[in-house]
Amino acid sequence: KPQLVASNNRFCRFLEEYCPVVTETYYPTIWCWEGRVQTLLRPFITSRPQVLYRNELIKTADGGQISLDWFDNNDSLYYPDASTRPTVLLLPGLTGTSKESYILHMIHQSETLGYRCVVFNNRGIAGEDLLTPRTYCAANTEDLETVIHHVHSLYPSAPFMAAGVSMGGMLLLNYLGKTGRDTPLMAAAIFSAGWNVFESIESLEKPLNWLLFNYYLTTCLQSSINRHRQILEKLFDMDLVMKARTIREFDKQFTSVMFGYRTIDDYYEDASPCRKLKSVGIPVLCLNSVDDVFSPGHAIPVETAKQNANIALVLTSCGGHIGFLEGIWPRKCTYMDRVFKQFVQAMFEHGNKIFSM
């Protein structure tokens, strides 16, 4: 069974009644139970539900643009009125976009419940042009604040939640830690977030993890910025950036410099959500597996989470990073998908009961 960590007994009772999946035994797919295998296989095994998006480009204060992919769900039977249709903002991982299988599955789950979804694609990675020499990072929440304000201004009467995966979860937690209760979001779900960047990077630099994950992700990051080389080389030595062989080297030469950090350690300190957890002011459910090499079990801030009544951690012993595969042939629904579906439904339809139970 997963370990449910929450200091607030009311939140626990709420989850047990309306999100019972967090108390059920999780049975990982028996032939790929190890964390790294789960992580590697999920993108290839899971299906890719068909989703038709409506794209919107919005401007930022610094002259840049952000690409949003909307799933309006205009055929919703439960919420035919678009002005009050519940909305879920989805934040993909480090180099992820609205096309990732885990995002498509979240939208598929939301569609069955009648909800609307909008995917926040980080600058420059969803095919749109980079208008200014700036991309994104886990610590800077300005673009996310712009998106949340924009979505809320379009549908001020619609219940509004967010879900972040991996780096998207880190960014969302850093935003919530910064804003406290001053956010239009009523709740959030976080999946496979890296809680302490120093520990995550150290884990990913172990020889096997570097070979399986670190080097590949570094090349993905380089590929995502190389397309915008012409505008970025005004500020960066792109030849040096393209020589990076680890995420740490990439962040040292590019990310930390772009966002004005004195050292890479300053950036990693600011990007670590564990530092801001005490300030979160809305209900947040966080799912992690303790065998996730991107977010090692010993770095999950269990004691800090117990100090905030708004936080609930769900910790599984297996599942890897955005894995959580279950069943003999895990093509469709994963444990993570089920947690997402039950939690957003619980909050949208019974959220007013959370602190009265």
Strand partners, 165: 191
Clarify whether 321 is annotated catalytic: yes
d(CA 206, CA 208): 6
Q: Which of the residues 67, 98, 110, 166 is marked catalytic?
A: 166
**What is the three-class DSSP state of 88?**
strand
Give the Cα separation of 142 and 356 in Å (integer): 34
- For residues 193 and 200, what is the distance between their CA atoms, to the nearest angstrom? 10
Q: For Cα atoms 112, 116, 117, give the angle at the middle one, nearest 5 degrees.
A: 105
Catalytic residue among 76, 292, 295, 337: 292
List helix spans (H) across the chain: 9-18, 35-45, 101-113, 142-154, 167-179, 197-204, 207-209, 215-226, 229-232, 238-241, 247-250, 256-258, 264-271, 302-305, 335-350
Active site residue 298: no
Check if 47 is active-site.
no
Spatial CA neighbour of 298 closest among 199, 207, 174: 199
Measured CA to CA, the distance from residue 339 to residue 326 in angstroms comes to 13
Dist. CA 235–CA 224, nearest whole Å: 17
Determine the length of the chain. Answer: 357
Catalytic residues: 166, 292, 321
